[in-house]
Homo-oligomer: A and B are copies of this chain.
Amino acid sequence: MNYLHQRRLVLTQAFKAKGVDAFLVTTPVNVSYLTGFTGEDSYFVINAKHEILVSDSRFDEQIKEECADLEAHIRPLTRTTLEAAAEVLTKIGAKSVGVEGNRLTLGALEQLKALAPKLTFVPLEGLVETQRMVKDPGEVEKIREAVRVAERGFRMFVATLREADTEKEMVDALEGYVRRAGARGTSFPPIIAVGERGALPHAPPTAKELGDGSKLLVDWGADLGYKSDLTRTLRSPFGTAPSRRNKQERVGYDFDKLYAVVLAAQNAALAAIRPGVKAKDVDAAARAVFANAKLDKYPDLKLDKCFTHGLGHGIGLEVHEGPKVRANSEDVLEAGMVITIEPGIYIPNWGGIRIEDDVLVTHDGFKLLTTLSREAATLSVS
Q: Which residues of A contact B (CB under 8 A)?
A: 38-40, 56-59, 61-62, 77-80, 99, 101-107, 109-110, 123, 125, 172, 175-176, 179-180, 184-185, 189, 199-202, 204, 308-310, 326-328, 348
Contact = CB atoms under 8 A, between A and B. Distances in A.
Copy number in the complex reads 2
A174 to B, nearest CB: 11
A249 to B, nearest CB: 15
Given A40-B202, A58-B309, A101-B105, 20 more contacts: A39-B202, A56-B309, A57-B308, A58-B201, A58-B202, A58-B308, A59-B202, A62-B200, A77-B308, A77-B310, A78-B328, A80-B328, A102-B105, A102-B107, A104-B105, A106-B123, A110-B123, A175-B179, A175-B185, A184-B189
A100 to B, nearest CB: 8
Given A77-B326, A103-B105, A106-B123, A185 B179 contact: no
B99 A125 contact: no
A336 B227 CA distance: 39
A72 to B, nearest CB: 15
B107 A125 contact: yes
A175 B184 CA distance: 11
Contacts of A78: 327-328
A77 B109 CA distance: 32
- A interface: dominant SS: loop
Nearest to A203: B62
A1 B107 CA distance: 34
Nearest to A310: B77
A80, A103, A180, A202 interface centre (most CB from chain B within 10 Å): A202
A179 to B, nearest CB: 4
Top 4 closest pairs, chain A to chain B, by CB: A106-B123, A172-B179, A102-B107, A101-B107
Contact of A106 (B99, B179, B348): B99
A149 B52 CA distance: 41
30 contacts: A39-B202, A40-B202, A56-B308, A57-B309, A58-B202, A58-B308, A61-B199, A77-B308, A77-B309, A77-B326, A77-B328, A78-B327, A78-B328, A99-B106, A101-B105, A101-B106, A101-B107, A101-B110, A102-B105, A102-B106, A102-B107, A105-B105, A106-B123, A107-B125, A110-B123, A172-B176, A172-B179, A175-B175, A176-B176, A184-B189
Contacts of A185: 175, 189
Nearest to A62: B200
A57 B189 CA distance: 20
A80 B184 CA distance: 32
A104, A176, A326 interface centre (most CB from chain B within 10 Å): A176
A56, A106, A308 interface centre (most CB from chain B within 10 Å): A106
A328 B79 contact: yes
A146 to B, nearest CB: 16
Nearest to A126: B107
A185 B200 CA distance: 21
A61 B175 contact: no
A310 B58 CA distance: 11
Contacts of A176: 172, 175-176
B104 A106 contact: yes
A206 B78 CA distance: 31
A169 to B, nearest CB: 9
Contacts of A102: 105-107
Nearest to A201: B58
